[in-house]
Structure 1
Amino acid sequence: MAFSLKAESRKETTKSDIKQLRIQGRIPAVVYGQKVGSAVIKVDQKELLALLRQNPHAIIDLDMPDGSGKQPVMINEIQRDKLKRERLLHIDFHQINMDEPVKTIVSLEFIGEAEGAKEGGIVQIQMHELEIRCLPSQIPSSIKVDISNVGLGDNILVNQLSVPAGIEVKSDPNDLILTVLSPQKETAEEEPANNEEKVGQAETSNEAATEGQPV
């Protein structure tokens, strides 16, 4: 799914001009690629934030201000404020060729309830995204991970995923995606019992020692 975003032309300006630009709700940006060269632009902050909330790795139809029409781009880099991460400072767009494979990130969508969870186990997700390579038109909105058959102590690795045809997984095949930990309740219940047993043994030892002492 492609998203649309309108770009406006921007001239190289001073820091104070850039600050004023952000106050006006515009984010300074650069778009580069074979067809567009390197263009300095600005985009609407609200539109960009809405896009990022839906899918920061999506293909974007960027409406260029030079009259060349819409160009397919992807976000290459986002610069954020160090203290206020939600505050965007600058965006780099990379114009892509729809006939050439690209590397990108897609979300993992976990479906089903793990067998181990039904037995009291704890599901721990280690990865929420996967790096892939494919044609832009083949980029899925997400990759489904069925966890229904994962039992206690079991896990899912990257190399166990089933991905659509034409998609090459670039993440490490041995990376851990999900695991189901055994419940810790039994261990927690055993500790008080063990403590009581130790106290009883200590009292018996003290009584035995007292019996052997002169009155």
Structure 2
Amino acid sequence: MSEVLLNAVVRNETGKRMNRLRSTDKIPGVYYAHGETNINITATPLAMKPLIYTTNTHLINLKLDNGESKTCILRDVQFDPITDRPVHFDLQGVKENEELTVQIPVVLNGSPKGVKDGGTIQHIMHKVRVSCLPKFIPEQIILDISDLGMNDSIHVRDIKIENVRVLDNAASAVVAVVPPTVVKEEVAAVPGAVTDATVAAATTAAEPEVIAKGKKPVEGEAAPAKK
């Protein structure tokens, strides 16, 4: 994977005083690593831009103003909820002989056969969690989806990267091609329209009531004989 140079300044300001740094167009951050003392730092938005506004994962060559140099990765960035500007970042130090866990972006390549038949692409997992040595960290995972037909999918178990262990559930779907959703339209009743139910009701109402002629026989008596 590619390496990005980041120049930063060691800072003493903490807590509320970090707001003063932000007002001078500087982003406060922290570098930390297992077995090392945390280092509070600041960097400019321009220096951070290649690390924040990208879908790729990079190793960072951190150069401090005191002459120290660190190899690390960007672990987290916090943004202002109103302005969406970065307000803080975390850098995690790495060692070349120790594996680390990172999330790698998934990029889709190609036009699936199923889409040409009317299907829709569902990109379910946009990042995949992997573990490997720093030198083997992939910038991104590119999946060729050209051969996916209708109802086909690619699962985590299908991702094979040399020297990299994929940690997510093997049965999880990363991308799939699904049939279009068919919405059944219900026809609204039109006032005054003639329906089968209306015709049936009208026919029943039009039938005349049949009334028998002659005296109704009293219970227990025989009916009068016909003449």
Q: What range is the shorter-chain TM-score in?
A: 0.7 to 0.9
From 130, 133, 145, the counterpart of 2:143: 145
Is the CA contact (8 Å cut-off) linking 1:5 and 1:63 kept in structure 2?
yes
CA shift for structure 1 position 129: 0.9
From 100, 103, 107, the counterpart of 1:102: 100
Are 2:6 and 1:8 aligned? no
**Amino acid in structure 1 at the alignment position of 2:12:** K
Whole-angstrom distance in 2 between the partners of 1:66 and 1:213: 108
CA shift for structure 1 position 53: 0.7
Unpaired stretches in structure 2, ≥5 consecutive residues: 210-227
Is the CA contact (8 Å cut-off) linking 2:56 and 2:104 kept in structure 1?
no
2:197 alignment counterpart? 202
Are 2:84 and 1:86 aligned? yes
Whole-angstrom distance in 1 between the partners of 2:71 and 2:32: 11
2:213 alignment counterpart? none
2:42 alignment counterpart? 42
Compare CA radii of gyration and give the structure with the larger one. 2
TM-score by length of 2: 0.78
Is the CA contact (8 Å cut-off) linking 1:75 and 1:94 kept in structure 2?
yes
Unpaired stretches in structure 1, ≥5 consecutive residues: none
**Amino acid in structure 2 at the alignment position of 1:77:** D
CA shift for structure 1 position 152: 1.9
Are 2:162 and 1:165 aligned? yes
Spell out structure 1 runs of 4+ moving beyond 4 A: none
TM-score by length of 1: 0.82
User: Which deviates more from structure 2 when the two are superposed, residues 104-113 or residues 72-81?
Assistant: 72-81
2:217 alignment counterpart? none
Per residue, is there more helix in 1 or in 2?
1
CA shift for structure 1 position 151: 2.1
Aligned CA-pair RMSD: 2.7
**Amino acid in structure 2 at the alignment position of 1:29:** G
Per residue, is there more strand in 1 or in 2?
1
SS at 1:54 equivalent: coil
**Amino acid in structure 2 at the alignment position of 1:179:** A
Are 2:177 and 1:176 aligned? no
Give identity over the alignment, percent.
Answer: 25
**Amino acid in structure 2 at the alignment position of 1:33:** A
Change (3 A) 1:206 1:134: same
SS at 2:197 equivalent: helix
1:22 alignment counterpart? 22
SS at 2:5 equivalent: strand
Q: Number of residue pairs matched?
A: 205
**Amino acid in structure 2 at the alignment position of 1:8:** V
1:71 alignment counterpart? 70
Change (3 A) 1:30 1:94: same
